[in-house]
């Protein structure tokens, strides 16, 4: 299937061509800005060093997107999703985690109301 052509990075005056919104350098800056100014401080407390270790281990054990596998597609997992969100009483337990690609994780987060101001 043909891919979309690359487009310029969304950061002002950056000439890098990318598949997503930002080049690697500006994506890191955008993520830092989100963590510092936009993410709820209570949420930020739940995702510290221990979460990163759990996440990395889970991705190693589940390298493919579990949602895509249900649709008979093979896609590398890049995100770990909490089936029951932490803010609703979920935990970092393995039975509450799901390995997903970025597009599946974004779709599920929007549908659950976890993004764009819906709660």
Least confident segment among 19-23, 24-28, 47-51, 71-75: 47-51
Beta-carbon contacts of 24 under 8 Å, excluding residues fewer than 6 positions away, are none
pLDDT score recorded for residue 119? 44
Instruction: Give the whole-angstrom CA distance, residue 60 versus residue 95.
Output: 16
Of all residues in the chain, the percent with pLDDT exceeding 90 is: 37
pLDDT category of residue 110 using cuts at 50, 70 and 90 = confident
Helix (H) or strand (E) holding 18, with range, is strand 17-18
User: Does residue 103 surpass a pLDDT of 60?
Assistant: yes
Residue 53 and residue 67 in contact, taking contact as beta carbons nearer than 8 Å: no
Provide the CB-side half-sphere exposure for 70 (13 A, CA).
7
* Separation in Å, CA 62 to CA 55, 99, 101: 10, 6, 11
Residue 99 and residue 63 in contact, taking contact as beta carbons nearer than 8 Å: yes
- Phi/psi at 82 (nearest 5 deg)? -85, 120
Average pLDDT, rounded, for the chain: 84
pLDDT score recorded for residue 117? 47
User: Does residue 52 surpass a pLDDT of 50?
Assistant: yes
Of all residues in the chain, the percent with pLDDT exceeding 70 is: 83
Beta-carbon contacts of 109 under 8 Å, excluding residues fewer than 6 positions away, are 81, 115
Beta-carbon contacts of 88 under 8 Å, excluding residues fewer than 6 positions away, are none
**Mean pLDDT for the stretch of residues 26-39:** 77
């Amino acid at each position: 299937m043909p891919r979309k052509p690359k487009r310029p990075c969304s950061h002002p005056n950056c000439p890098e061509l990318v598949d997503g919104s930002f080049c690697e350098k500006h994506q890191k800056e955008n993520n830092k800005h989100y963590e510092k100014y936009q993410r709820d401080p209570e949420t930020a407390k739940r995702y510290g060093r221990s979460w990163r270790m759990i996440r990395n281990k889970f991705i190693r054990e589940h390298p493919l997107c579990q949602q895509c596998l249900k649709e008979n597609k093979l896609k590398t997992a890049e995100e770990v999703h909490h089936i029951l969100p932490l803010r609703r009483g979920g935990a970092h337990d393995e039975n509450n985690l799901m390995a997903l690609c970025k597009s599946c994780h974004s779709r599920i987060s929007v549908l659950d109301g976890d993004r764009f101001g819906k709660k």
